[in-house]
Amino acid sequence: MLSVEALKIRYGEVEAVRRVDLTVDSGEIIALVGANGAGKSSTLGAVAGLVPAASGKVIFDGADITGLTPEAIARKGVALVPEGRRIFASLTVADNLRLGGAVHQPAAEARLREEEMLELFPILRRYHRVKGGNLSGGEQQMLAIARALMGKPRMVLLDEPSLGLAPQLIDTVFDLIAELRRKGLTILLVEQNVALALEIADRAVVLANGEVVLSGTAKELASSDLVRQAYLGA
């Protein structure tokens, strides 16, 4: 469904991503793991169109989407839930959701979709008229995911969904991710918590210094010496 080929990303003189190749098949959860600064978020940013690729290609559904604007990529059915959630703090939960589904469907359908989201995230129904900035971190993460789902994407890019959340909430968020996959969504997950990511993913790609150092099924990686020593602390 998605393939990233020989992606390179530069910020001025700094090469944030030297070479990343990865593929995500329909209905899979792929985890992109690695240390801080390994190039995970930059890779997601390039897929979503927020970060320009210096070279390489991003192919979605057989079409080259490299260099398209973020809005064009979003309309093709790729939704990014950005790191740090970045919900609109001064807008109500309702308005955050409304914007998420504004351009992807007629207004009547968007209302039905919002109803589905409120079923999936009851907490958002309770705080429907509350400003996004007044929600807790976990609630904001739910809102950020629901907002991305409003546009009925076929693929979701999740950037560090566990960041800054209490352990209990992390479990809730990851249960939700598993639930979304059961519903047929394809997910590319960036996560610093490697153990957690490998638990939920089908396959995983390990990045270090902007390059893929290891990839394989989640099971293989969980038992590989490199991953165990470097990321799982075993």
* Contact residues for another protein, defined by CB under 8 A: 48-50, 69-71, 74-75, 79-80, 82, 86, 88-91, 95-96, 98-100, 102-104, 133, 147-148, 151
Alpha carbons 149 and 115: distance in angstroms, whole number: 12
Of 89 and 234, nearer to another protein (C-beta) is: 89
Of 20 and 48, nearer to another protein (C-beta) is: 48
Supply the minimum distance, in Å, between the C-beta of residue 127 and another protein: 17
Supply the minimum distance, in Å, between the C-beta of residue 107 and another protein: 8
Of 104 and 228, nearer to another protein (C-beta) is: 104
What is the identity of the amino acid at 19? R
Of 49 and 222, nearer to another protein (C-beta) is: 49
Q: Nearest CA to 70 among 44, 86, 49?
A: 49
Of 34 and 132, nearer to another protein (C-beta) is: 132
Supply the minimum distance, in Å, between the C-beta of residue 169 and another protein: 22
Token duo for residue 50? 């927020």
Neighbours of 56 (CB within 10 A): 17
Supply the minimum distance, in Å, between the C-beta of residue 109 and another protein: 14
Supply the minimum distance, in Å, between the C-beta of residue 148 and another protein: 8
What is the chain's percent helix, strand, coil content, to nearest 5? 40, 30, 30
Contact between residue 150 and residue 101 where contact means Cβ atoms under 8 Å apart: yes
Alpha carbons 81 and 149: distance in angstroms, whole number: 9
